[in-house]
């Protein structure tokens, strides 16, 4: 199972939009056994927007179970997406429950024949849930808005990742797929300038190749609980579908090296 976390400790930057589209996209991938993938989606955000967008997919328990020793994680439920959704217990997850959540997730991650992918959507604030997500993940992708303080947010996130690598991963690196400009308004000179400045400061290695533009179709897709490529055909939906599929294809292809590691 390959695990990817969508995280940025800033609110409203497009984390959930990307996370649910990634789950939908991965679930359509054909695996080595010629079957579609099994994808576990874990909604760690108490706002529950990811779980809501995926409410028509298979429901497989609650993400808070991860933090309770006595609760089991869901068995692979079949092809497609299985969702562990948020509930009120998530708000009271304490740092003290993090070590056992990490142990529990890691043994689940190592089980053979389970899920092919796990996509974790995270809240915009630092705490036990984000610590756990970064501790257990293989990959990280981080949507960023080209707004004021974008660079500060990027630095904060890199510092958080480093802290988790030291404190909970014995130095094992998170494979950072990079910062992905999202909700990007290409008509704004200010945002274009910010994008260039961010690229200059962060470097091409940590900037994801591509941007997700501000488009109504993404919001409409989420409201309709379908990926943007399943919306009734319109020129707006088609352009958005092509844009995000290209991004998702790149993400999926960058998640492949872990497969080679697993075999070796």
Contact residues for Mg ion (CB under 5 A)?
A: 15-16, 49
Kindly tell me which of 100 and 224 has the beta carbon lying closer to ligand ATP. 224
Closest CA to 10 of 120, 154, 185, 121: 154
Do 16 and 139 touch, CB atoms closer than 8 A? no
- Which of 1, 4, 5, 17 touches ligand ATP (CB under 6 A)? 17
Do 18 and 143 touch, CB atoms closer than 8 A? yes
Do 136 and 105 touch, CB atoms closer than 8 A? yes
Kindly tell me which of 55 and 219 has the beta carbon lying closer to ligand ATP. 219
Do 157 and 194 touch, CB atoms closer than 8 A? no
Calpha distance 154→165 (Å, rounded): 17
Q: Which helix (H) or strand (E) holds 18?
A: helix 15-27
- Which of 129, 183, 191, 247 touches ligand ATP (CB under 6 A)? 183
Residue 190: contacted member of Mg ion, ligand ATP, none (CB under 5 to 8 Å, by partner type): none
Please, what is the minimum distance in Å from the beta carbon of residue 230 to ligand ATP?
16
- Which of 55, 200, 219, 262 touches ligand ATP (CB under 6 A)? 219
Kindly tell me which of 201 and 223 has the beta carbon lying closer to ligand ATP. 223
Please, what is the minimum distance in Å from the beta carbon of residue 13 to Mg ion?
8
Residue 17: contacted member of ligand ATP, Mg ion, none (CB under 5 to 8 Å, by partner type): ligand ATP
Site stretch for ligand ATP (CB under 6 A), options 13-21, 36-44, 73-81, 85-93? 13-21
Do 22 and 6 touch, CB atoms closer than 8 A? yes
Q: Which helix (H) or strand (E) holds 3?
A: strand 2-6
Contacts of 243 (CB under 8 A, 6+ apart): 212, 213, 215
Do 23 and 39 touch, CB atoms closer than 8 A? yes
Convert residues 125-164 into a mask of x (bound to ligand ATP by CB under 6 A) and - (unbound).
----------------------------------------
Cα angle value 242/45/132 (rounded, 5°):
105
Contacts of 106 (CB under 8 A, 6+ apart): 136
Q: Tokens 């967008």, residue?
A: 53
Site stretch for ligand ATP (CB under 6 A), options 106-114, 163-171, 190-198, 214-222? 214-222
45 binds ligand ATP (CB under 6 A): yes
- Which of 4, 64, 133, 212 touches ligand ATP (CB under 6 A)? 212
Do 207 and 142 touch, CB atoms closer than 8 A? no
Q: Which of residues 69-108 bind ligand ATP (CB under 6 A)?
A: none
Please, what is the minimum distance in Å from the beta carbon of residue 70 to ligand ATP?
29
- Site residues for ligand ATP per CB under 6 A: 11-17, 45, 47, 49, 124, 182-183, 212, 214-215, 218-219, 222
């Amino acid at each position: 199972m390959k695990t990817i976390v969508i995280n940025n400790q800033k609110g409203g930057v497009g984390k959930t939009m990307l996370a649910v589209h990634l789950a939908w996209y991965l679930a359509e991938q054909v695996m080595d056994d010629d079957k579609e993938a099994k994808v576990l989606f874990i909604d760690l955000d108490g706002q529950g927007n990811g779980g809501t967008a995926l409410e028509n997919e298979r429901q497989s328990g609650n993400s808070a179970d991860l933090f309770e020793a006595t609760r089991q994680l869901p068995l692979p439920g079949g092809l497609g997406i299985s969702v562990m959704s948020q509930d009120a217990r998530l708000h009271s997850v304490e740092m003290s429950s993090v070590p056992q959540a990490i142990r529990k997730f890691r043994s689940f991650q190592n089980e053979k024949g389970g899920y092919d992918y796990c996509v974790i959507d995270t809240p915009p604030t630092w705490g036990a849930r984000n610590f756990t997500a970064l501790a257990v993940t293989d990959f990280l992708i981080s949507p960023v808005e080209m707004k004021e303080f974008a660079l500060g947010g990027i630095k904060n996130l890199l510092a958080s990742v480093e802290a988790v690598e030291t404190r909970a991963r014995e130095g094992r690196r998170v494979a950072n797929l990079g910062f992905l400009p999202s909700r990007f308004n290409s008509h704004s000179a200010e945002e274009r300038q910010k994008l260039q400045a961010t690229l200059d400061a962060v470097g091409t290695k940590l900037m994801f190749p591509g941007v997700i533009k501000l488009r109504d179709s993404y919001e409409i897709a989420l409201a309709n609980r379908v990926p943007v490529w399943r919306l009734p055909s319109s020129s707006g939906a088609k352009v958005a579908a092509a844009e995000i599929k290209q991004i998702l294809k790149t993400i999926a292809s960058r998640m492949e090296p872990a497969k080679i590691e697993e075999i070796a």
